[in-house]
Structure formats: structure tokens, C-alpha cells
Amino acid sequence: MRNLKLTIEYDGTNYHGWQIQPNGVTVQETIEMVLATLTRQRPKVICAGRTDAGVHAEGQAAHFKTETTMDSERLQKGMNALLPDDIVITCVEEVADDFHARYSARGKTYRYVILNRAYPSVFQRNRCWQITFPLDLGAMREGAAHLLGRHDFSSFQASDCCAKHPRREVRDMVIEEEGPWIRIYVTADAFLKHMVRNMVGTLVDVGRGKTGAAAIPAMLAARDRTRSGGTAPAHGLFLAAVIYR
């Protein structure tokens, strides 16, 4: 039995997230069906981090076990020929039997994209959050600094998050500006459900002057979701990379 690792790009606009669901098309289901056609097996494809409906990925990682003898290059070409245009396999590689896309990961980087201007983008409308009011990036960076380090992120997790514990280590948080585009990069050892979107929503509140950056430590200490900001829209979020040793 071989263990194969996939690196995947996808536009999440047309999918109900990664994980198979009974009421909508998902990325996992689409990939598994293609593999079933190519290998005459239906392997379970396990990803590094399940993305929500509308969330995109540039560097999603996944693995599956298979008995196919098809080499990696041929399998990659076959998958891309059969997959819809909004899912692309950028790499197929054979890995050690004990490799696990989720449990072997040492961290992940997400990028959140904001378009900060009065009018939307035709081409990027499903890949950014348009905000029409001015944002103070200096204040947002000050707020982001309070989120660095290992904390209990209960105040920034979804109410239905099923993680075993809420402690995570945010290793880096960078806010870049290029014209009207604002990109927020967050790297952590792991993430809670909606954690990035809730942090971004809170930083936007800081940027618009609704909340002070100095209030963020108290939000963390409260361990109460109602104390932090709103949830940023899913379509501005990208899983940029999964970090392995």
C-alpha cells in the first residue's frame, strides 16, 4: 500500500468547504471521485486543514493510501484532466507510510485579502472582502502584535468548534498594503474553527476605530467569543501553505 501526498489549489466559491457533506458538493468528494475513476478505488483523502464553504487554498496538503501502480506524474496529469477548472493538483509525491497530512503538519499560513476602496472588483469579488471605510493600518498592526504568542483563543473560535483545547501559538502576523489591497498573513502551529476570520474581523474593528488595539489582551483573557469582533467573510480567506519538517 502506497502513501501519496497531494498539494492542491482550489477556488472555494462553488464548494461547501473541504469535508464531504450530504447537502452540497465539496472539494474532498470531488477529488475522491476522480481518484476512484483513475485507480478503480475510492480512497479517503485526508487534508491538513478543513476549509469552510467559500474559502480558497493555494497550498492545501492531503494524503491517501492506495494500491495503484500509476506513477506520480501520470497520476497528477490524470487528476488535472478530470478535475473541474477550479481545483488543480500542483504536486503528487510518495511519502513515508507514517506521514499524515494533518498530524505531521507543524504549522499553517493563511492569507486574508481586503479590498479597501469605494467600488468592488469584478474579477476578485469572490476572493476578497471589500471594505469602503478607511482603515488605520498602524492601529491594526498594533492590535495584531497582541495576538502573537501562545494564548487561549476561546474568544476567537466558532461556538461549534470541536477542538480538544483552545490554546494555539500564533508565530507571525503580517499586514501588508499595496494600493487599495490589504493582505493579512497569519502563521500558527494550528488554528481553531473561524479563528483567522474572527481575528481579522476584530482587527478591522480596530482599524475603523470601533475598538482600541489595547482592548485585545482583555478579549483574550475573557475567553468569551462575544467579547471579540465579528467574523470576516469566508471568501477573503486563503490557506496559503502547510508547514512540514
- Quick: pLDDT tens for 174-228: 999 999 999 999 999 999 999 999 999 999 999 999 999 999 999 999 999 999 9
Mean pLDDT of 41-57: 96
Q: Is 52 a catalytic residue?
A: yes
User: Does residue 90 sit in the same domain as residue 117?
Assistant: no
Instruction: Report the number of distinct structural domains present in the chain.
Output: 2
Task: Provide the angle, in degrees to the nearest 10, between the axes of the packed helices 72-82 and 27-39.
Answer: 120
Question: pTM here?
Answer: 0.96
Q: Is residue 100 part of a domain?
A: no
pLDDT beyond 80 at 144: yes
Q: Is residue 102 part of a domain?
A: no
Question: In which band, very low, low, confident or very high, does the pLDDT at 46 lie, cut at 50, 70 and 90?
Answer: very high
User: Does residue 136 sit in the same domain as residue 51?
Assistant: no
Closest CA to 140 of 174, 180, 188: 174
Question: In which band, very low, low, confident or very high, does the pLDDT at 245 lie, cut at 50, 70 and 90?
Answer: confident
Phi and psi (nearest 5°) for 180?
-85, 0
Asked which of 94, 122, 148 is the last residue of a domain, the reply is 94
Asked which of 69, 94, 119 is the last residue of a domain, the reply is 94
- Beta carbons within 8 Å of 96's beta carbon, 6+ residues apart: 3
Q: Is residue 121 part of a domain?
A: yes
pLDDT beyond 80 at 163: no
Environment class of 105 (CB within 10 Å of its CB; exposed 0-12, middle 13-18, buried 19+): middle
The rounded distance, in Å, linking the Cα atoms of 234 and 135 is 20
User: Does residue 151 sit in the same domain as residue 221?
Assistant: yes
20 lies in which domain range?
2-94
